[in-house]
C-alpha cells in the first residue's frame, strides 16, 4: 500500500489557470486545418474556426493560447496578416517546411479564435527580424481605444473596440531561431523593446514576457533578470522531452519498456529546472515587482510519423504521453508560487497535441484527456501533498518514482491527481486527509497499454474511465487501486 498525505493547512497559493495554457504556431497543420478552415474545405465552422475542434477545446476550458510562434514569431510581420485577404502578402514559412503562408489567419482571426474560446491571448512579438516600431504598433493596434494611427487602422479593418491583449512576448528563443543572441545582447534588446511596449489603458495593463533560456541555461536567466528584470513581468524557459538526445528523439508509438522509462526519467528534469530558475528569479524580485516564471513550450518531441512532412512535426500520442503530461502538470501545480503559465506544444497536429485532425476527421489524444482530468486545478488553492513512494528500476537512466501527486481545493471540493508510472504494476493507495474531511469521493483515470493511442478509425481506444475509490467512514482517508501507467483524478466533496 502506498501512503499519500494531503494537507489543506499548507498551501503555496493559487494554481494560476494559465498553467493549463496552450500554444498554436503557424507550423504544419496546427493553425491551418487544425483550427482554421476555408469554405472550400467543406468542414463545419464559425467564422473559419472548425466547430468540432472548438467544441473539444471549450470542454477542457483552455484558459490562454500563445500565438503565432515559436520560431515563426520572429519571422512574422503582423501587418502582412491584416486587411482584405486578397491583398495580404503571401510569404514562405522558412522555419517549417518552406510552405506558402498566405496570411489568411492574422491578428483579427486569432482574436476571433480566442473570443470564441473565451480564453486569453498571448502574442509573441518579433524581436529577431522585426523592429521596435513594429511591435509597438502591434500593441497600439490591439489595445488603443481612442484615436491613433493604429487604432484607426484596426477600425478600418472592421474592429471598433480594442481587444486589450494582456500577454506580450519579447521574442522567442532569442538564443536560437529568434536571433542567435547572447544573453547579454538579448537583455539590452529586451529593455529597448520593453521601453516602447506601452500601456494604452491603465485598467488593462500589459504583461511583458522575456524570451528565456534553452532548458537549463541558468546564465541566461540570471543575466536577463539582472539586467532587464525591472522591465519585464516574467521570463520563460523551454524544455522538450526526447527519448535519448536531440539527434535521437525516438518514436511516438513504437517503443519498448526501457524507452518508456527512459523518456519519463528525462522529463523529471523539468522539476530541477523549475526549481533552479525560480531560485534565480527570486534574487531579482524587488518589493512591488515580481518576476514570474513561464514554461511557454514543453512536451514530448519524437521523430515525425512516417510519410509526413518532416517540417510539420506531426506525431501520434500514446498513454505514455498522458503519463508524461500528468507528471509535468503535477510539477507545475506544486510550484505554483513561481510558475504562472505553461504552454504545452502544441494544441493541434503538432508535437504533443491535444487533438489530431485529418481533413474533416478529428480525434482526441490521451494528453487531451489528462487536461480534462486536471481542469479542477485551474485557479484552485494548491494544497500540500506528499507520497511515500519507492523508486522503480535499477539503472540510473531509467529511474523514476512509482507515483507523483498534486492537490488543490476549490468550492468545497478537493482534487487529488496521482500518476502511476509503473508499466507493469497496479498501485494501491491510501490517501490520508489532513485539515479536511470528505463526505464522498469519485475517481476517474486515463490508462491503457503504454503504447495505446487513438486513431481516426478507433478514436475511443484511450479515454477516461472510472476508478473505484472508497472513503473511510470517518471521512479522513480514502483508498483506491490505480491501474498501471495511469493518470488519475480523485474528487473529494468536503464535509
Catalytic residues, by residue number, are 173, 297
Near ligand AHR by CB under 6 A, which window of 12-20, 66-74, 223-231, 465-473? 66-74
- Looking at beta carbons, which residue is closest to ligand AHR? 70
Task: Pull the grid cell for residue 36.
Answer: 482554421
Nearer to ligand AHR, 71 or 324 (CB): 71
CA 237 to chain centre: 12
Min separation Cβ 388 and ligand AHR, Å:
37
Min dist CB 341 to ligand AHR, Å, is 15
The minimum distance between CB 171 and ligand AHR, in angstroms, equals 10
Report the b/e string of 362-371 with b at 16+ CB within 10 A. bbbbbbbbbb
Q: How many residues bind ligand AHR (CB under 6 A)?
A: 10
Ramachandran region, residue 191 (left: φ > 0; alpha: ψ -120 to 50; beta: rest): alpha
Q: What is the DSSP letter of 304?
A: P
Considering the complex, state which of residue 137 and residue 297 has its C-beta at the smaller distance from ligand AHR: 297
Choose, by CB under 6 A, the member of 71, 322, 373, 414 that binds ligand AHR.
Answer: 71
Of the listed pieces 160-168, 345-353, 363-371, 477-485, which binds ligand AHR according to CB under 6 A? Answer: 345-353
Instruction: Say how far apart CA 455 and CA 459 lie, in whole Å.
Output: 5
Please give the full DSSP string across 386-426, using - where no structure is assigned.
EEE--EE-SSGGG-EESEEEEEEEETTEEEEEEEE--SS--
Which sign, positive or negative, has the C-alpha torsion 270, 338, 225, 170? positive
**CA 40/CA 218 separation, integer angstroms:** 49
Q: Is 7 exposed, middle or buried (0-12, 13-18, 19+ CB in 10 A)?
A: middle
Site for ligand AHR in 218-247 (CB under 6 A): none
We find the least distance from the C-beta atom of residue 205 to ligand AHR, in angstroms, to be 26
Least distance to ligand AHR, CB of residue 413, Å: 34
- Tell me how far apart the alpha carbons of residues 59 and 240 are, in angstroms, rounded to a whole number: 26
Q: Which stretch binds ligand AHR (CB under 6 A): 69-77, 160-168, 265-273, 444-452?
A: 69-77
Q: Looking only at residues 349 through 378 of this chain, which bind ligand AHR when binding is defined by CB under 6 A?
A: 351
Cell numbers describing residue 279 = 531560485
Strands 339-345 and 21-23: parallel
Which of 69, 125, 438, 475 is the binder for ligand AHR (CB under 6 A)? Answer: 69
CB nearer to ligand AHR: pick between 63 and 70: 70
304 scored as a contact of ligand AHR (CB under 6 A): no
SS3 of residue 66 by DSSP: strand
- Which window, 65-73, 204-212, 246-254, 438-446, contacts ligand AHR (CB under 6 A)? 65-73
The residues that bridge with 493 in the sheet, in sequence order, are 413, 440
Pairing verdict, β 64-67 and 120-124: parallel
CA distance 224 to 219: 8
Site for ligand AHR in 17-56 (CB under 6 A): 25
Per the CB < 8 A criterion, the answer to whether 229 and 169 are in contact is no
Query: Per CB under 6 A, which region of 51-59, 128-136, 260-268, 344-352 contacts ligand AHR?
Result: 344-352
What's the DSSP call for residue 36?
B
Q: Can you tell me which of 319, 345, 416, 436 binds ligand AHR, judged by CB under 6 A? A: 345
* 70 lies in the site for ligand AHR, by CB under 6 A: yes
Say if residues 25 and 67 touch (Cβ distance below 8 Å). Answer: yes
CB of 284 to ligand AHR, least distance (A): 24
Q: Is 128 in the site for ligand AHR (CB under 6 A)?
A: no
Would you say 2 or 346 has its CB closer to ligand AHR? 346
| Cβ proximity to ligand AHR, 8 vs 239, nearer residue | 239
344 vs 373 by CB, closer to ligand AHR: 344
Minimum CB distance to ligand AHR, residue 482 (Å): 31
* 172 in contact with ligand AHR (CB under 6 A): yes
User: In Å, how far from its chain's centre is CA 379?
Assistant: 15
Interface residues for ligand AHR in 379-438 (CB under 6 A)? none
Q: Select from 33, 109, 173, 491 the one that contacts ligand AHR (CB under 6 A).
A: 173
Alpha carbon of 165 to those of 162, 204, 333, 343: distances in Å?
A: 8, 8, 25, 17
Compute the least distance from the CB of residue 123 to ligand AHR, in Å. 14
d(CA 53, CA 56): 5
The minimum distance between CB 395 and ligand AHR, in angstroms, equals: 29
- For 416, other C-beta atoms within 10 Å of its C-beta total 26
Task: Decide: is 297 part of the binding site for ligand AHR (CB under 6 A).
Answer: yes
Would you tell me which residues interact with ligand AHR (CB under 6 A)? 25, 69-71, 172-173, 297, 345-346, 351
Amino acid at each position: 500500500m502506498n501512503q499519500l498525505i494531503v494537507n489543506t493547512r499548507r498551501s503555496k497559493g493559487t494554481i494560476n489557470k494559465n498553467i493549463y495554457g496552450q500554444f498554436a504556431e503557424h507550423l504544419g497543420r496546427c493553425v491551418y486545418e487544425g483550427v482554421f478552415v476555408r469554405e472550400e474545405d467543406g468542414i463545419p465552422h464559425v467564422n473559419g474556426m472548425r466547430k468540432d475542434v472548438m467544441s473539444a477545446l471549450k470542454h477542457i476550458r483552455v484558459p490562454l493560447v500563445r500565438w503565432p510562434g515559436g520560431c515563426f514569431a520572429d519571422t512574422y510581420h503582423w501587418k502582412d496578416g491584416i486587411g482584405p485577404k486578397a491583398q495580404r502578402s503571401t510569404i514562405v514559412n522558412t522555419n517549417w517546411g518552406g510552405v506558402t503562408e498566405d496570411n489568411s489567419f492574422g491578428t483579427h482571426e486569432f482574436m476571433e479564435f480566442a473570443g470564441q474560446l473565451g480564453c486569453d491571448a498571448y502574442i509573441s512579438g518579433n524581436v529577431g527580424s522585426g523592429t521596435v516600431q513594429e511591435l509597438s504598433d502591434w500593441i497600439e493596434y490591439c489595445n488603443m481605444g481612442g484615436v491613433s494611427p493604429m487604432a484607426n487602422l484596426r477600425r478600418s479593418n472592421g474592429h471598433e473596440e480594442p481587444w486589450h491583449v494582456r500577454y506580450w512576448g519579447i521574442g522567442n528563443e532569442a538564443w536560437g531561431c529568434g536571433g542567435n543572441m547572447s544573453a547579454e545582447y538579448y537583455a539590452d534588446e529586451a529593455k529597448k523593446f520593453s521601453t516602447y511596449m506601452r500601456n494604452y489603458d491603465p485598467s488593462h495593463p500589459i504583461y511583458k514576457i522575456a524570451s528565456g533560456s534553452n532548458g537549463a541555461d541558468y546564465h541566461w536567466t540570471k543575466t536577463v533578470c539582472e539586467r532587464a528584470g525591472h522591465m519585464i513581468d516574467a521570463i520563460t524557459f523551454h524544455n522538450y522531452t526526447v527519448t535519448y538526445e536531440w539527434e535521437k528523439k525516438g518514436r511516438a508509438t513504437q517503443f519498448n519498456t526501457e524507452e518508456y522509462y527512459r523518456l519519463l526519467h528525462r522529463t523529471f528534469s523539468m522539476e530541477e529546472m523549475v526549481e533552479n530558475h525560480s531560485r534565480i528569479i527570486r534574487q531579482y524580485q524587488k518589493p512591488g515587482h515580481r518576476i514570474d516564471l513561464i514554461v511557454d513550450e514543453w512536451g514530448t518531441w519524437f521523430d515525425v510519423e512516417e510519410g509526413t512532412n518532416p517540417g510539420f512535426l506531426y506525431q501520434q500520442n500514446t498513454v505514455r504521453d498522458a503519463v508524461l503530461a500528468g507528471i509535468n502538470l503535477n510539477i507545475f501545480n506544486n510550484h505554483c508560487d513561481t510558475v504562472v503559465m505553461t504552454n504545452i506544444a502544441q494544441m493541434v497536429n503538432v508535437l504533443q497535441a491535444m487533438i489530431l485532425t485529418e481533413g474533416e476527421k478529428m480525434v482526441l489524444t490521451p494528453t487531451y484527456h489528462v487536461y480534462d482530468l486536471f481542469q479542477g486545478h485551474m485557479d484552485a488553492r494548491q494544497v500540500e501533498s506528499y507520497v511515500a513512494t519507492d523508486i522503480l528500476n535499477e539503472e540510473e537512466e531509467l529511474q523514476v518514482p512509482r507515483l507523483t501527486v498534486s492537490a488543490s481545493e476549490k468550492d468545497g471540493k478537493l482534487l487529488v491527481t496521482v500518476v502511476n508510472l509503473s508499466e507493469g504494476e497496479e498501485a494501491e493507495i491510501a490517501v490520508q486527509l489532513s485539515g479536511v474531511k470528505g463526505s464522498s469521493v469519485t475517481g476517474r483515470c486515463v490508462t491503457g497499454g503504454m503504447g495505446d493511442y487513438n486513431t481516426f478509425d478507433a478514436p475511443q481506444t484511450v479515454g477516461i474511465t472510472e476508478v473505484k475509490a472508497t472513503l473511510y467512514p470517518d471521512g479522513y482517508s480514502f483508498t483506491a487501486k490505480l491501474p498501471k501507467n495511469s493518470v488519475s483524478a480523485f474528487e473529494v466533496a468536503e464535509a
